[in-house]
A and B are shown apart, each in its own frame.
Chain A
Amino acid sequence: MGRHVLLIEDESNIAEAIRFLLTRDGWQVDTHADGRDAVEVVCAAKPDLVILDMMLPGKSGMDILRELRAIDGLHDLPVLMLTARGQSRDRDMAEKAGVSRFMTKPFSNIEVLSAVRDLLAQASRT
């Protein structure tokens, strides 16, 4: 099982907290804060899991997710989406776009950690 997580989040303090949390748990964490080139960054970094914020400068997390899912080899990449918008409609749209897990802000650290562990464990079984 790979241990490389790419965190795409423009809120620097959230990114820092999650990076600390996951690094402590033994993950290699890279961060990126811009939506515009996020797809290219994912393709270049080849992470084992992506944590993706919904509202990013330049391009929304939803659009990024759709683009990722259209790329060969990234259909099954685990994507954990973070959003401040928890309406069921947004959740439905994210699921339709191929999200692996949907998490609303504010979340607890243990939730994030569990989600990352679960998703990567699932990915390693398939």
Chain B
Amino acid sequence: MPRDMLTGSRIRERRAIKGLRQADLARQVGISPSYLNLIEHNRRRIGGKLLVDLAEVLGVEPSMLTEGAEAALISALREAAAEAGVAMAETDRAEEFAGRFPGWAEVLVWSHRRITSLERTVETLSDRLTHDPRLAASLHEVLSTAAAIRSTASILAETGELEPEWRDRFHRNLNEDSARLADSSKALVNYLDDTEASADHRGAPQEEVEAFMAAHGHHFPLLEEGTGDLDAIIASAPELTGRAARQVARKILRQYAADVVAMPLAVFTEAVKAQGLDPLALAQAFAVDLPAVFRRIATLPEGALPGEVGLVICDASGSILFRKAITGFALPRHGEACPLWPLFSALNRPLVPIRRRVSQLGRAVAEFDCLAIAWPDGPPGFERDPLYRSIMLILPVRHGEGDGATPQPVGGTCRVCPRGDCDARREPSILSEGF
């Protein structure tokens, strides 16, 4: 039995081991079940005859129920007080506090432990997430392989007489590791260095485009007026340092301009006011498809909608091509997103609109209304399969707005998702203790 377990908790545990109901134990020692309940939840201190009676029924020595329990509580209280910088006079009264309010004392100790655990989680997170996980994994692979080669080569070079069995084994290892080093070095260089566009080193094109769109609030007044010059906008964007990023941005702005023509700002905003944020009705009213409506909603100026909206677009491989972040919905910067997002479900049923209420567990549970659809991108052809893309509009659900139905739990990406029991998990979470 853990020494830091309180007396009440120990009684509860022993009773469970013996298979006794609370009412049965209470009756045998002559107290009410509700009083025993208070004791078991450490809300009443016990001692003397009652403790002896309980221990007898439970078949243990009274000391097994009490030894070290209070001391552990007081010690934990002092530890919490010391870390909080409480004055010595108060710390000295920890014993009195634990005696008079054992339940509150336990709450305080629990809170202190929880804070310590969360601090450790934050420390671990900042340690690992301040680095690009792909880059870190790639470097780790190179350095580990180099370490293996160096050690093995030293043994072969420096060990005078090496048994043939060991020598053959180390030769084999060296051969394997050198091939592995060649592959991992090549992969690392490819990742770091785009030889065709050396200026692209600052960041991934996707990240530069995201920074560019965010700097403009995803809204471009000149394009709304039809007077904007795409090349001028892109040339004057300090965020777009690489050729690849400028190409991606140009494609997005070209699509933006086409959406403006199909759904002019003033008319579209009026339609939203009149019909509400009903993408199907808006698509019908403007004779456009749902992806166009989703994109247009995501480019409305601040204040045109009651709250912020998020948007994600992916291709059939699941790679994220575009994202507009929304508060509370984690969109991974690196690595793969949660396969439970409706964005990916839509890929299984192209052209079928999907609407799901989802919740993401972060520092607080936030609910979102996700609308998704997958569609064939590009002109049709008899000789080739269509290339599908999927788009998901993310709308926040305000407190009290939900229909009461349980939202579908989803994550951001497995590495930082605290959900324990998930069939979709690809890899363990680094949040060993969760939030």
Contacts and interface: CB of A to CB of B under 8 A. Distances in A.
Interface of A: 11, 13-14, 16-18, 20-21, 24, 55, 58-60, 62-63, 66, 82, 84-85, 89-90, 93, 104-109, 112
Given A59-B432, A84-B139, A21 B148 contact: no
A21 B155 contact: yes
Contacts of B432: 59, 63
Contact of B154 (A16, A82, A109): A109
A107 B150 contact: yes
B136 A85 contact: yes
Q: Could you say which of A59, A84, A104, A109 has the most chain B C-beta atoms within 10 Å of its C-beta?
A: A84
Given A17-B152, A106-B150, A109-B155, A84 B124 contact: no
B211 interface: no
Contacts of A20: 155, 166, 170
Interface in B111-136: 120, 123-124, 127, 136
B428 interface: yes
A18 B148 CA distance: 9
Nearest to A96: B123
A14 B155 contact: no
B158 interface: yes
A14 B136 contact: no
Contacts of A104: 143
Given A16-B173, A93-B123, 5 more contacts: A11-B148, A14-B148, A62-B127, A63-B432, A84-B144
Interface residues of B, number: 30
Given A13-B177, A20-B166, A108 B152 contact: no
Nearest to B131: A85
Nearest to B141: A84
Contact of B140 (A17, A21, A59, A84): A84
Secondary structure class of chain A's binding surface, majority of residues: helix
Interface in B147-189: 147-152, 154-155, 158-159, 166, 169-170, 173, 176-177
Given A105-B146, A106-B146, A109-B158, A17 B151 contact: yes
B146 A17 contact: no
Given A11-B144, A16-B173, A93-B127, A108 B155 contact: no
Given A11-B144, A85-B140, A105-B144, A21 B151 contact: yes
Contact of B147 (A14, A59, A85, A93): A14
Contacts of B159: 24
Contacts of A14: 144, 147-148, 151
Contacts of B177: 13
24 contacts: A11-B144, A11-B145, A13-B148, A13-B173, A13-B177, A14-B148, A14-B151, A16-B152, A16-B173, A17-B152, A17-B155, A21-B155, A60-B430, A84-B139, A85-B136, A93-B123, A93-B127, A105-B146, A107-B147, A107-B150, A108-B154, A109-B151, A109-B155, A112-B151
A19 B327 CA distance: 51
B52 to A, nearest CB: 31
A101 to B, nearest CB: 16
A20 B156 CA distance: 11
A106 B143 contact: yes
